[in-house]
Copies of this chain bind each other. A is one copy, B any other.
Amino acid sequence: MAITVVGSVAYDSIETPSGKRDRCLGGAATHFSLAASFFTDVRVIAVVGEDFGPRQEAVFSKRNIDTRGIERAPGKSFFWSGSYLDNLNEAKTHQTDLNVFAGFDPKIPAAYADSRFLFLANIDPVLQRRVREAMPGVKLVAGDTMNYWINDHKPALLEVLKGLDILLINDTEARTLAGENNLVRAARAIQAMGPETLVIKHGEYGASLFHKVDGRESFFKVPGLPLHEVVDPTGAGDSFAGGFFGYLAAQEKQTPAAYRRAMFYGSVMGSLAVERFGTERIANLDRAEIDTRFNLFRELTHLD
């Protein structure tokens, strides 16, 4: 069933030990939608500037992603530049220009209203909440956030958390949000804030699922894939979210077994995304590559 995602569609300038790219298509909503589009229909809500042209539009339309909710505004698109020269696990931000994103007021096209799945990518929690409230009919809501909102906009973020079924964040963010160093206790504290299900991402070490099965606490883990070269980590987390939530949305029932497979598909899409710069890998992916990678993850983790 269709997912609506709200988030950024942007341009990124990226430098890593493998090279650099200037102004390549990026943004959380972009990476999320591309990854999710291999599993289900995706509809995007975002704002772009006059620099967003047919070439960028084509990246979405090639994957049958609905872009009617991408508003065109006068000015330039959101722009980010950063590097990962010392540490592939953490970007060093050089520049962030909000541009048209500064005045973003998400509008939900009528055609999106029947979406049963909603993904609130990492944007201002005030906007996340506005979109959540405008779509009361959704069945499952997942969201992402980052340290900036946790540290400086916590009250607004806590309001968003109350309306989430699933929160995806990384280790450091989980520890900061919960004010607790032990990850199991941090997860419990965050679950008490709203999201019954928590996916904590560990960068190259994979991700952990904390949820409840038949009323009792349950865990599941998926490792990171050992890669000879991480070309560009930008968008890995959003691609994980796209694989994870895309797979879940495609299932008739979101059973515990579906959640476990969703974790695998998340790690599959994240591991593929980092093999090229920006959207280069996922935008040109073939479904069979996903299945091959899924089998690799199975071999990597299963005893028999």
Contact = CB atoms under 8 A, between A and B. Distances in A.
Interface size class of A (residues with CB under 8 A): 20 to 34
Chain A at the B interface: mostly helix, strand, loop or mixed? mixed
A4 to B, nearest CB: 28
A107 interface: no
A227 interface: yes
A297 to B, nearest CB: 9
Contact of A303 (B181, B228, B298): B298
A72 interface: no
Contacts of A230: 182
Question: Which of A88, A202, A230: most chain B Cβ within 10 A?
Answer: A202
Contacts of A183: 204, 226
Interface string A209-244: 010000000011101001111100000000000000
A126 interface: no
A182 B231 CA distance: 11
B301 A301 contact: yes
A260 B223 contact: no
Interface in A173-223: 181-185, 187, 202, 204-206, 208, 210, 219-221, 223
A298 B302 CA distance: 8
* Oligomeric state, in copies: 2
Nearest to A204: B183
Contacts of A219: 226, 300
Interface string A20-32: 0000000000000
A230 B182 CA distance: 8
Given A205-B202, A260-B303, A302-B301, A184 B227 contact: yes
A186 B221 CA distance: 24
A101 interface: no
A292 B227 CA distance: 33
Contacts of A181: 88
Interface string A288-304: 00000000001111111
A26 to B, nearest CB: 24
Contacts of A208: 223, 226
Given A205-B206, A260-B303, A301-B301, 6 more contacts: A183-B204, A185-B228, A187-B226, A220-B299, A220-B300, A257-B304
Closest 3 CB pairs of A and B: A205-B205, A221-B223, A184-B226
29 contacts: A88-B181, A182-B227, A182-B228, A182-B229, A183-B204, A183-B226, A184-B228, A185-B228, A187-B226, A205-B205, A206-B221, A206-B223, A208-B223, A208-B226, A219-B226, A219-B300, A220-B299, A220-B300, A221-B223, A221-B300, A221-B301, A223-B223, A257-B303, A261-B303, A264-B303, A298-B303, A301-B301, A301-B302, A302-B303
